[in-house]
Amino acid sequence: MTTFATSGAAALAIPDLPDRRRMYREVGARLRAAMRESGVDALVLLGNGNVVYATGASWPLLDA
């Protein structure tokens, strides 16, 4: 873990490895909240990169 001093009272701690599960959970929660606020019931994601970003799910297929 790396710690950086900040101008505020608390130091900023950055882990050596990212917590990908937490990241995908938070992205998914923000995406679902934005969909709910906009009245969107379904979302079609095109491109493996978009699916991975939104859900964390990945598969070894190439985008056409």
**pLDDT reported for residue 31:** 94
Structure tokens at 25: 């959970």
**pLDDT reported for residue 37:** 98
What string of H, E and C letters represents the secondary structure of the chain?
Answer: CEEECCCCCCCEEECCCCCHHHHHHHHHHHHHHHHHHHCCCCCCCCCHHHHHHHHCCCCCCCCC
Would you list the domain boundaries of the chain? 19-64
**pLDDT reported for residue 15:** 84
Q: Tell the burial category of 53 from Cβ atoms under 10 Å away from its Cβ (0-12, 13-18, 19+).
A: middle
The segments of the chain whose pLDDT lies below 70 read 4-9, 62-64
